[in-house]
Amino acid sequence: MSEAILSVSFAGPHVSVQDGGRAGLMRYGVPASGPMDRRSFAAANIALGNPADAPGVEVSLGGLALECVSGTVSFAVAGGGFIVEHAGSRRSSWSIATLRAGEKLTIRPGPWGSWCYLAFAGRLQSQQWLGSAATHAISGFGGGRLTAGARLSIADPARHAKREGGIPCPVSARPRQQVRVVLGPQQRFFDAAAISAFLSENWSMTDAWDRMGVRLAGPAIPPQAALDMPSEPIVRGSVQINGDGVATVLLADHQTTGGYPKIATVLDCDLDSFVQLRPRDAVAFRPVSPAEAISLSRTIAMGTSAYLHAIAGKGRDARAET
Amino acid sequence: MNTKFPERSFPVFSPVAEHSVLVEFGDRIDRDIHAQVLRLNRALAAAPFDGFLEAIPAYASILIRFDPLLCDHAMAVGKARQLLDHDLPAVSKPNLHEVLVCYDDALAPDLAAVAKSIGLSCEAVIKAHLAAQYDVFMYGFAPGYAYLAGVPQRLQLPRKPAAMRDVAAGSVLIAGPQCLVSTLTMPTGWWNIGRSSTRILTDDAHKPFLFDVGDRVRFRRISRAEYEAGK
């Protein structure tokens, strides 16, 4: 069995191995984890001819630098407007190229976006937990965080010459400054003025972010009643308001239950674009009815599926050369 | 603050984003309310509807997640109501687990403080903790953190004013009516009264978590030597 070996020379915080995630275990305190921007992650894999949920590397605003120690392997970079430097050339994310022994690859933040994905034509060898390589940040379970000195091994690496070049970046991959929410399920803790402030004021992202969630800056909207509710389930997208009235949007590695009231829940189909906002970017919340939420999510799912189908087609006839 | 809410008539069904419905059976921690959560939990497991993805039971509520391509909120609420309206098959006896705990001073940093603040000896605290039977009410916070209800009244203390950092995995923690055995090294404001060698994250692919919500737990005391041998 052939393999390609890469050595990590630098990795910023929150750079980790992810895959499609471990859904269905929230009842045991385990969130799904997986990529923050699931659509861009799938794009990187699909564009290479991989299954959409194959293990890959999630790169944060901290960036990543690595060197190919041995072997030859094609790779795809998708997500955000990051800058990719490879073997002396410079391109944007949303591209496919081939990494050879001795070559360096650097991915760092560019004009937009907070998360970028690196997928390989081959099987990234990674530790699994409960059937998934997705890294759960606070426990470190799964494939794990990448740090300087780490080695990545890719089994059965392939070179996909015909797939090399750009991957179309869909409009839906851009950050969204207006995200749709369904109010509740604990909006009863808030008076009309607080709900109106939540929906009409401009909020912004802060530096207090990680894979568990992002704190927002905006008006204080403290709950109007004692915080004595028994802990209730939390989902990815829950907008939780603490006792001081500060809002946090829970994300991929969220706690599965919590005792703070959730004023609203961001639609799951808007979260991939929401997480691409950067600290200090403005964001506003637009309420939709549950029925509108369902219909938006179906429309967006159709668009994503058509997009992934289209990029899978490119190079489908290409023969892998090893 | 302290506004009183208008009385709600339970169960309350609330839509969550485009993928879930929260079903609330009450607004406090209570065995009878939790029994209703367990009832719907079992019914969903026995008869999942088309598009059902998972159910997350908590103290007084359960979240039902569905695939929005196959189902919607109204359908999920309809299915949940249907299940609640039907007589469910008799419940088998809940599984009883024995969790081993060592109360040695070095592994029970808060035991003396707990004993002092409630005016009991350390041995009396241990005896009371061992005498109780606990119910697994829910998981939360982190993987494998199972909230066990049943701490005897006289051992119930509010959480500490400040969290302690780096509390070891396996710590037996209490706060209010709840007890839990931690699975990760984490900060906590709960009182650390012992250390367990029993693994909640079992590493067994067929049964990765020791407890299911609804199971019962009793603690059994072990010596420091048994703890060291078993960890």
Task: Report the pLDDT averaged over residues B2-10.
Answer: 71
Give the percent of chain A with pLDDT over 90.
91
Do B125 and B222 reside in the same domain of the chain? yes
User: Structural domain of residue B179, as residue ranges?
Assistant: 96-230
**What is the predicted pLDDT for the residue at A317?**
47
**What is the predicted pLDDT for the residue at A315?**
55
Task: Report the pLDDT averaged over residues B159-180.
Answer: 91
Do B108 and B203 reside in the same domain of the chain? yes
Task: Tell me the per-residue pLDDT of B121-146, one tens digit each, with 9 for 90 and over.
Answer: 999 999 999 999 999 999 998 999 99
Do B38 and B142 reside in the same domain of the chain? no
Sheet containing A3-11: give its strands across.
A89-92, A81-86, A104-112, A64-70, A3-11, A151-155, A123-124
Instruction: Provide the pairing of β-strand B178-181 with A151-155.
Output: unpaired
Instruction: Note the helical H segments in B121-178.
Output: 122-131
Do B113 and B73 reside in the same domain of the chain? no
State whether B54 and A24 contact (CB < 8 Å).
yes
Q: Amino acid identity, residue A322?
A: T
Q: How far is A1 from chain B (nearest CA, A)?
A: 27
Q: Which of A232, A290, A301 sits opposite B15 (nearest CB)?
A: A290
Chain B residues close to A232, C-beta within 8 Å: 22, 24, 58-61, 63
Tokens standing for residue A78: 């998708």
State whether B143 and A29 contact (CB < 8 Å).
yes
Task: Report the pLDDT averaged over residues A99-123.
Answer: 97
Task: Report the pLDDT averaged over residues A244-261.
Answer: 94
Q: How far is A49 from chain B (nearest CA, A)?
A: 25
Quickly count: other Cβ atoms within 10 Å of residue A144's Cβ: 17
Chain B residues close to A130, C-beta within 8 Å: 208
Q: How far is A271 from chain B (nearest CA, A)?
A: 11
Do B108 and B213 reside in the same domain of the chain? yes
Query: How many folded domains does chain B comprise?
Result: 2
Which residues 174-193 of B are in CB contact (within 8 Å) with A? Answer: 184, 186
Chain B residues close to A265, C-beta within 8 Å: 16-17
User: Contact at 8 Å (CB) between B161 and B41?
Assistant: no
Distance CA B73, CA A182 (A): 12
**Nearest Cα to Cα of residue B192 among B214, B211, B174:** B174
Task: Tell me the per-residue pLDDT of B85-129, one tens digit each, with 9 for 90 and over.
Answer: 987 666 678 899 999 999 999 999 999 999 999 999 999 999 999
User: Which burial class, exposed, middle or buried, applies to A302 when counting CB atoms under 10 A from its CB (0-12, 13-18, 19+)?
Assistant: exposed
A45 has pLDDT over 80? yes
Q: B139 in a domain, yes or no?
A: yes
Helix (H) or strand (E) holding B39: helix B31-46
**What is the predicted pLDDT for the residue at B132?**
97
Among B85, B111, B129, give the residue marking a domain's end.
B85
Do B57 and B118 reside in the same domain of the chain? no
Task: Tell me the per-residue pLDDT of A274-315, one tens digit each, with 9 for 90 and over.
Answer: 999 999 999 999 999 999 999 999 999 999 999 999 999 865
* Structural domains for chain A: 3-172 (no CATH), 178-287 (2.40.100.10)
Give the percent of chain B with pLDDT over 70.
95
Q: Tokens 């603050």 map to which residue?
A: B1
Q: B27 in a domain, yes or no?
A: yes
Q: Tell me the pLDDT of chain B averaged across its residues.
A: 93
State whether B15 and A184 contact (CB < 8 Å).
yes
Among B85, B110, B144, give the residue marking a domain's end.
B85
Q: B45 in a domain, yes or no?
A: yes
Tokens standing for residue A44: 């990187």
In this prediction, residue A320 has a pLDDT band, given cuts at 50, 70 and 90, of very low
**What is the predicted pLDDT for the residue at A314?**
65
User: Contact at 8 Å (CB) between A64 and A11?
Assistant: yes
Do B176 and B115 reside in the same domain of the chain? yes
**What is the predicted pLDDT for the residue at B19?**
98
Distance CA B70, CA B56 (A): 19
Angle between helices B111-118 and B122-131 (to 10 degrees): 90
User: Contact at 8 Å (CB) between A251 and A275?
Assistant: yes
Quick check: helix, strand or coil at residue B64? strand
ipTM of the predicted assembly exceeds 0.90:
yes
Do B215 and B138 reside in the same domain of the chain? yes
B202 has pLDDT over 50? yes
Do B105 and B184 reside in the same domain of the chain? yes
Q: B5 in a domain, yes or no?
A: no
Q: B1 in a domain, yes or no?
A: no
Task: Tell me the per-residue pLDDT of A72-93, one tens digit each, with 9 for 90 and over.
Answer: 999 999 999 999 999 999 998 9
User: Contact at 8 Å (CB) between A294 and B72?
Assistant: yes
Q: B2 in a domain, yes or no?
A: no
Q: Tell me the pLDDT of chain A averaged across its residues.
A: 94
In this prediction, residue B29 has a pLDDT band, given cuts at 50, 70 and 90, of confident
Do B60 and B105 reside in the same domain of the chain? no
Cα–Cα distance list, B44 to B33, B50, B54, B83, B217 (Å): 17, 11, 9, 8, 24
Do B105 and B204 reside in the same domain of the chain? yes
CATH number at residue B19: 3.30.1360.40
Among B30, B50, B85, give the residue marking a domain's end.
B85
State whether B184 and A138 contact (CB < 8 Å).
yes
**Nearest Cα to Cα of residue B193 among B89, B116, B141:** B116
Q: B109 in a domain, yes or no?
A: yes
Do B155 and B117 reside in the same domain of the chain? yes
